[in-house]
Amino acid sequence: MTDLPTMPVPVTIKAIVEETPSIRTFYFDPAIPSSPGQFVMVWVPGVDEIPMALSSEYSITVQRVGDATAAMFKLAVGDKLGIRGPLGNGFAVSGRTLAIGGGVGVAPLLHLVTAGEVSTFLLGARTKDELLFAPVIASACSLRIATDDGTAGRHGFVTDLMDEIDLADYDHICVCGPEIMMVKVLERLNKAVLAERGQFSLHRYMKCGLGICGSCSMDPRGLRVCRDGPVFTGIDLLETEFGKYTRDATGSRVHFPPLHPEKKDEKSGE
């Protein structure tokens, strides 16, 4: 078994880029060698340690949703963070790959794009101003866009874009975004008998990130998102709690509203 990092490594913030009104990318040094899809535990001194996906080996892309991320938004170039990782598994792709991303879930998929592993990217957001990394993605692969309000690309959801392409043309389909979105993707893949080609990057409440505490375990098989994931195949997720509920800090179930994005929690990495 590979030794897991148990102590954070201090990194220095080298640049901060405002990507959207609520999302910023923090570039740091030294880099964290990793595979696309892996995550890190980010220690914000004096506040908390929370899981975050790497958008590159030297950056994390952060949405302001709670105390720890609010504290991060007050940091400046030259300030320090603690990074523990990389943790978990990443995307395993070859051949033609389709990426489907929404919101800040685009971050781990960007790492896959810049590695030259994506053929087509379906990008979704609520509105044009919230589209993440569109120019970078468009420069590396074929990009299609959907916005909820129709201010850019197709007027609708990113899952609607799936109806415009032949999913069977792709060897792998990598997905990250709000869970309610990812469930709709899995439903379409399963209907097309392609669930085994799907790779879904999950977000769950985490405490240790090492597979010890069990806070991110999923029913009914006890899959640990931090160690067995965060990337799971579509087959792994069928007949699980995926899309039905998550758990809060006490372990109590938090059910997803049927037609609306789930309430965000920093400890879930969203």
Residue 208 annotated as part of some ligand binding site? yes
Is 141 annotated in a binding site? The answer is no
174 is in an annotated binding site: no
CA angle 76, 79, 81 (to 5 degrees): 115
The Cβ-side half-sphere exposure at 74, using a 13 Å CA radius, reads 9
Beta bridge partners of 155: 147
Q: How far apart are CA 107 and CA 176, in angstroms?
A: 8
Secondary structure in 3-state letters for the chain? CCCCCCCCEEEEEEEEEEEECCEEEEEEECCCCCCCCCEEEEEECCCEEEEEEEEECCEEEEECCCHHHHHHCCCCCCCEEEEEEEECCCCCCCCCEEEEEEHHHHHHHHHHHHCCCCCEEEEEECCHHHCCCHHHHHHHCEEEEEECCCCCCEECCHHHHHHHCCHHHCCEEEEECCHHHHHHHHHHHHHCCCHHHEEEECCCCCCCCCCCCCCCEECCCCEECCCCCCEEEHHHHCCCCCCCEEECCCCCEEECCCCCCCCCCHHHCC
- Amino acid identity of residue 9, one-letter, is V
- Please report, in range form, the residues annotated as the binding site for [2Fe-2S] cluster: 208, 213, 216, 226
* Binding-site annotation: residue ranges: 208, 213, 216, 226
